[in-house]
């Protein structure tokens, strides 16, 4: 039996940074991966989808962006697009292998099962079995997997999940998305811009549940403006194959039955944690009623030598949360004083326009007993946004009316995903509205919108009317 100090199961954005950090801290580490290093994020999620989104946005912008740019015969070759995307994935997943090696952590390919609080059995790709001992710790970083709807079983071509949707080599004429959440809208908009007729069925009363409704409204408007249809409060029931190969999808809305005809159905109704079939129950690790493995602030499960990070340990299911947890758990295993102690986990949704959030919404702040001051600055009033010809959206700052401390920032608009990092830092540093307003933001930049929104919350905005 080979012995390590730490064994990490899963080389996604939680597991591989954990392995790298353990290596840096001189903890003898083995990372085990059953599919491809980089996990869902690098292989089928964050990165491939962002490559497709950037291509679709570029295409759309050249086609309809105004600015006097005129191009004739503009087309996208979905095959070349896929090849380019796959090149990026290959470079990054290869990078994960080198980074682990460079930092002294070993990587084994195979399927791992926890057989005791200190041992892991791995069945390799050729079926060979190997048992490893972890002297100090086992880290579960197995992520999450796509939820399937029984009446829409994946068939890999017509009824697909996000994995297949980032790998399509033809643009469907008509795409139906079940689930108006992050994946459904990000990928739905890609194909919409590349030419698909898009229909979205969302079971809840609004798309992007949990996001500031003023932000999601803007994305909803954009999808509709691009010719798409969104049905909220709509439940997909099932489908029938038509003689021409298309699918007639039945759904119920407001108590009435209706049908949409499409060529591809993308099912994006959420992800569930991958905590089962790992042997965890047998060694006494608690898995909660929602399938997550609960952890404490140091990432420990109820079995002291077993830790969990990322999607498997609980929401939000975000790569950057997984990575930070992985790094902290590595520090804890190495005997350092470390704990998960962040003010906010920012989120970025790569729809058009993008939505990004950090901290509390106004409603959440009110529920927590704050009297709130709100500042809002529209991109329509910002020179840089006009120069980009991307003036939809705004930056909204929610602050404590009494102390002026910033409680949350919600951005919908160009580069919202980039801008939110400044807001996240503001929250971590317990910044006040004045701190942001007194920080000189270079002109002309999109970042000025955050400064002006903070100023607006104090009645001091320069480029819009103050209340
Ligand atoms: P989600 O939870 O964001 O959205 C799923 C949506 O499907 C919900 O709005 C839900 O109400 C709806 N739904 C569920 N059952 C339905 C049904 N039968 N008919 C119609 N609608 C139904 O989940 P997702 O979009 O699949 O994404 C999965 C996870 O991946 C999320 O937790 C998300 O945080 C993460 N993710 C994040 C990003 C990002 O941060 N940019 C990108 C992709 C995925």
209: exposed, middle or buried (Cβ count in 10 Å: 0-12, 13-18, 19+): middle
Q: Which atom of ligand 1 is nearest to the CA of 251?
A: 19
For domain 2-145+272-333, give the fold. FAD/NAD(P)-binding domain (3.50.50)
Q: Does domain 347-457 have CATH number 3.10.105.10?
A: no
> Looking at residue 125, what is its pLDDT?
86
User: Is residue 269 within 8 Å of residue 149, measured between CB atoms?
Assistant: yes
| Both structure tokens of 410 | 């919600």
Residues with CB under 6 A from ligand 1: 149, 178-184, 186, 201-204, 209, 235-236, 268-271, 316-318, 347-350
| SS3 label, residue 268 | coil
Ligand 1 pocket test, candidate residues 179, 250, 312, most atoms within 8 A of CB: 179
The pLDDT assigned to 64 comes to: 87
Output the DSSP codes for 290-357.
Answer: TS-----TTSB-SSTTEEE-GGGG-S---HHHHHHHHHHHHHHHTT-------S---EEE-SSSEEEE
Residue 186 confidence (pLDDT): 98
Residuewise pLDDT in 10s, the chain (467 residues): 999 999 999 999 999 999 999 999 999 999 999 999 999 999 999 999 999 999 999 999 999 878 999 999 999 999 999 999 999 999 999 999 999 999 999 999 999 999 999 999 999 989 999 999 999 999 999 999 999 999 999 999 999 999 999 999 999 999 999 999 999 999 999 999 999 999 999 999 999 999 999 999 999 999 999 999 999 999 999 999 999 999 999 999 999 999 999 999 999 999 999 999 999 999 999 999 999 999 999 999 999 999 999 999 999 999 999 999 999 999 999 999 999 999 999 999 999 999 999 999 999 999 999 999 999 999 999 999 999 999 999 999 999 999 999 999 999 999 999 999 999 999 999 999 999 999 999 999 999 999 999 999 999 999 999 97
Q: How many CB atoms lie within 10 A of CB 237?
A: 16
Q: Per this entry, what is the length of the chain? A: 467
Q: Is-catalytic flag, 443? A: yes
Integer Cα distance of 199 and 260 in angstroms:
8
The rounded Cα 225 to chain-centroid distance in angstroms is 25
d(CA 6, CA 23) in angstroms, rounded, equals 10
The pLDDT value given to residue 441: 98
Q: What is the CATH number of domain 159-269?
A: 3.50.50.60
Q: What pLDDT shows up at residue 183?
A: 98
Residue ranges per structural domain of the chain: 2-145+272-333, 159-269, 347-457
């Amino acid at each position: 039996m080979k012995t390590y100090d730490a064994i990490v199961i899963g080389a996604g954005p939680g597991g591989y940074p954990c392995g790298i950090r353990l290596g840096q801290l001189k903890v003898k580490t083995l990372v085990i991966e059953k599919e491809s290093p980089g996990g869902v994020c690098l292989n089928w999620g964050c990165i491939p989808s962002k490559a497709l989104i950037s291509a679709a946005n570029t295409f759309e912008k050249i086609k309809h962006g105004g600015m006097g740019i005129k191009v004739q015969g503009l087309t996208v070759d979905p095959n070349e697009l896929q090849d380019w995307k796959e090149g990026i994935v290959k470079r990054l997943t290869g990078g994960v292998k080198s980074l682990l090696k460079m930092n002294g952590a070993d990587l084994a390919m195979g399927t791992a099962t926890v057989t005791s609080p200190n041992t892991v059995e791995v069945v390799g790709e050729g079926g060979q079995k190997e048992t490893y001992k972890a002297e100090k710790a086992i880290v579960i970083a197995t992520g999450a997997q796509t939820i399937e709807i029984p009446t829409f079983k994946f068939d890999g071509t017509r009824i697909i999940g996000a994995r297949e949707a980032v790998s399509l080599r033809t643009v469907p004429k008509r795409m139906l998305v079940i689930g108006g959440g992050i994946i459904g809208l990000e990928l739905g908009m890609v194909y919409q811009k590349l030419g698909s007729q898009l229909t979205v069925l969302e079971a809840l009363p609004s798309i992007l549940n949990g996001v500031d409704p003023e932000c999601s409204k803007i994305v909803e408007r954009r999808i509709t403006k691009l010719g798409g249809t969104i049905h909220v409060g709509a439940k997909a029931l099932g489908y029938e194959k038509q003689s021409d190969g298309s699918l007639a999808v039945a759904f119920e809305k407001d108590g009435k039955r209706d049908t949409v005809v499409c060529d591809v159905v993308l099912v994006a109704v959420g992800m569930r944690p991958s905590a089962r079939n790992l042997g965890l129950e047998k060694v006494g690790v608690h898995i909660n009623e929602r399938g997550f493995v609960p952890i404490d602030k140091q990432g420990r499960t109820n079995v002291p030598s077993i830790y969990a990070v990322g999607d498997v340990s609980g929401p939000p299911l975000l790569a950057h949360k997984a990575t930070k947890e992985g790094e902290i758990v590595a520090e804890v295993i190495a005997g350092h004083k470390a704990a998960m102690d962040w003010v906010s986990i920012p989120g970025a949704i790569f729809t058009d326009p993008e939505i990004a959030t950090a901290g509390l919404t106004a409603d959440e702040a009110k529920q927590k007993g704050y009297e709130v001051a709100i500042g809002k600055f529209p991109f329509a009033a910002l020179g840089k946004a006009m120069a980009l010809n991307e003036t939809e959206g705004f930056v909204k700052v929610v602050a404590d009316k009494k102390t002026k401390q910033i409680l949350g920032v919600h951005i919908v608009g160009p580069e919202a995903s980039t801008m939110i990092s400044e807001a996240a830092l503001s929250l971590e540093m317990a910044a006040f509205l004045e701190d942001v307003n007194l920080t000189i933001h270079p002109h002309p930049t999109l970042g000025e919108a955050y400064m002006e929104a903070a100023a607006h919350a104090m009645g001091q905005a320069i480029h819009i009317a103050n209340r």
